[in-house]
Amino acid sequence: MLASRALLLKQAAAVLSRQPACLVHQGDWGNWGNTNIAVVFSGCGWWDGTDVHEAAYTMYHLSRNGARFQIFAPNQQQMHVMDHMKMQPSSGENRNMMMESARFSHGQGMMQMQDLSRLDVNSFDAVIFPGGHGIVKNLSSFNKDGKDCKLHNDVERILKEFHRSRKPIGLSSMSPLLACRVLPNLEITMGYERDESSRWGRWPNTNMVQAVKSMGAYVDEKNKVISTPSFMWETDYHYHYIFDGIGNMVKHVMRMTSK
């Protein structure tokens, strides 16, 4: 029995020894580490930062498609802290976006949270902004100023630098409004212009879609901007659609990095 077990272990070790240790993973667009993506967060939580599902789905699909990625957030206080049970601001609380976003990281190596001010376009092949109300509260003043909003200085810098460098920009749910505010003539997807409710769900953020439309967003694929509406749609049955939509966005980001 012991001899048979030893033989099996020896055979398994021989098979594994023939596999390249760091390149076993194959994504749809190549081996692990060929593409380096920056992911920008704005806190942790749908109502006051980055949505946890959109963040996790984005990182999952980047990993599944063979990308190396690094996560960033502004090292500044967020607009306010929301009670996600009552869906209202918590009094007397104040939190740092970078510290809150670090909840998504494992705190080591490439997965260590980085200050957004240190994001260098020359070190990355693309950038992705997952959604959440942190887009309109922390990365921009849209929550207060609507279509006349201003963007966080580093967010505006990063979007303009990636666009100027012809590097892909991935956007989900509310984040397309960031790009539309500072980049001309974009193709974006944020959902319906009218809340056409059905048994499958509803589109409650139509005012945001209308505001983005007034910023001058048009169909223009040459800008390498890829977007998905994700949680702009509200329904009890949609998590796999959100997962798949973010997956498609990530795949197109990866595809465009090879052009």
Distance between CA atoms of residues 88 and 84, nearest Å: 7
* Angle formed at CA 220 by CA 136 and CA 178, multiple of 5 degrees: 10
Distance between CA atoms of residues 207 and 213, nearest Å: 10
Given a contact cutoff of 8 angstroms between Cβ atoms, the answer to whether 37 and 124 are in contact is yes
What backbone phi and psi angles, to 5 degrees, belong to 77? -70, 140
Smallest CA-to-CA distance from 242 within 26, 101, 106, 61 is with 61
Q: What is the pLDDT of residues 72-118, one digit of tens each?
A: 999 999 988 877 777 777 878 889 999 999 999 876 666 789 999 99
Q: Which residues contact 209 (CB under 8 A, 6 or more apart)?
A: 190, 191, 192, 193, 203, 232
Q: Residue 68, Cβ neighbours under 10 Å: how many? A: 15
What backbone phi and psi angles, to 5 degrees, belong to 243? -60, -50
**Claim: this prediction has a pTM higher than 0.85:** no
Q: Which residue has the higher pLDDT, 120 or 26?
A: 120
Q: What is the pLDDT of residues 128-165, one digit of tens each?
A: 999 999 999 999 999 899 889 999 999 999 999 999 99
Given a contact cutoff of 8 angstroms between Cβ atoms, the answer to whether 225 and 93 are in contact is no
Kindly list the structural domains of the chain, giving each domain's residue range(s) and its CATH number in brackets, ordered by start.
33-257 (3.40.50.880)
Smallest CA-to-CA distance from 53 within 254, 234, 253, 256 is with 234
Angle between helices 239-257 and 52-64 (to 10 degrees): 50
Q: What is the pLDDT of residues 172-182, one digit of tens each?
A: 988 988 998 99
pLDDT at residue 15 is higher than 50 = no
Q: What is the pLDDT of residues 211-249, one digit of tens each?
A: 444 433 322 457 889 888 777 766 666 788 888 888 888
The pLDDT of residue 87 is 72
